[in-house]
Amino acid sequence: MNLDYTELSRKTLRKELLKALGHKLHPNNYRAIALSAVSVVLLILAAVSASQNNLNYDLSGLTPSPVLFVMIFLFLVLPALLGAARRLDYNQRLQRFARANNMSIDNSIVGSPGGMIFQYGNIRGYKFRLKSADGLYEWGSYYYGLNAGFTKISKEHGYIAKQIPDALPDMIIESKVNSLGVLTRVAPSLTRLDLGQEFANHFNIYVRQGNSSLAASALTVEFLQLMLDCGLGYSWEVSHNTLYLYTVGFEVQYWKPIKQAHESMGAVSNRLLAAIKSGQSFASLNTEISASSRLLQIPPKPKNRSLHDLKIAVIITAVLTSTTIAAVLLFAE
């Protein structure tokens, strides 16, 4: 299946964003716009109240209005506006991508897919699902929530699902770079396969009890090399006749290499099917895996995505803080 990725990577123009405001928006966009409106109203009320009452506080000689204006704008209005624009841009990219590839958009929740990640959490749903016209592919953003006492944990995961012609033994290939952290908790009956230290530095492989030999027959050296070449940033799952590819989150920046990910789905499924049909014995596999350290070409370990996100968050916080201090000093003069 050849896909056109142009519209997914093209940033939405300002006039397109303004036009989209006249159409039905995602509930998250409504909330962002409402928050922006409330912030603006609070800002106006605070400014009017300060001017009418002529209140003065001992805050380095400042009246409340300038400081309040800067604080509300930086920490309420600006993030809300940027968040709404980002979500609109994201939504428009997906719609254009779907139209360009004759995909349907389905946000409904009907039943539950077979993948283990979809069985986790007591609050489950989709932000979007794109389905190919031939029914073989599904792209989506899935979220789940956990209520733990007074706290609520919410997670979002992106996935691609590909239908394969023959049923395969269930297995999970969990990336250590982009670990979802929930797959193995969903199915406690999983058994971990030991495929040598070199491969284990990048992936954990789990199968259902009793399926070790059948699942391992698909894990040829060629397949393991394929995973090292194209699958380091993703976790994989085989569930009956469906192959899933998972990643943490579904923001556009996570899916810039989406073309490679999609093409990898076809290569991985073809390799799995070929290995299963060849009927390779488990003993033969163990012989090959024992030499995996010299057979496999181990790539450099990619950067941890969560650490990258933490660095960005620190930079943004530092910029906001320095901007606020500069604004306060400016008004103080």
Tens of pLDDT, residue by residue over 241-281, are 888 888 776 555 555 556 666 767 777 777 777 766 665 44
Report residue 96 as tokens. 């254009």
- Long-range interactions of 181-188: CB distance < 8 A, separation 24+: 182/117, 182/120, 182/144, 182/155, 183/116, 183/117, 183/235, 183/237, 185/120, 186/116, 186/117, 186/119, 186/120, 187/116
Domains of the chain: total = 2
- What is the b/e burial string over 118-132, where b = at least 16 CB atoms within 10 angstroms of the residue's CB? bebbeeeeebbbbbb
Q: Identify whether residues 78 and 217 lie together within a single domain.
A: no
Q: Is residue 325 one of the residues assigned to a domain?
A: no
Q: Is residue 329 one of the residues assigned to a domain?
A: no
Label residue 282 by pLDDT band (50, 70, 90).
very low
**Residues 233, 231: Cα–Cα separation, whole Å:** 6
Which one of 78, 104, 130 terminates a domain? 104
- What is the b/e burial string over 144-162, where b = at least 16 CB atoms within 10 angstroms of the residue's CB? beeeeeeeeeebebbbbbb
Query: Would you say how long the chain is, in residues?
Result: 333
Q: Identify whether residues 121 and 202 lie together within a single domain.
A: yes
Q: Identify whether residues 154 and 192 lie together within a single domain.
A: yes
**Which position has the token pair 């919410």?**
154
Over residues 82-106, the pLDDT tens digits come to 777 777 777 788 888 888 888 888 7
Segments forming the whole domain that contains residue 26: 20-104
Q: Identify whether residues 273 and 134 lie together within a single domain.
A: yes
For residue 298, pLDDT beyond 80: no
Burial class (CB in 10 A: 0-12, 13-18, 19+), 266: middle
Which one of 82, 104, 126 terminates a domain? 104
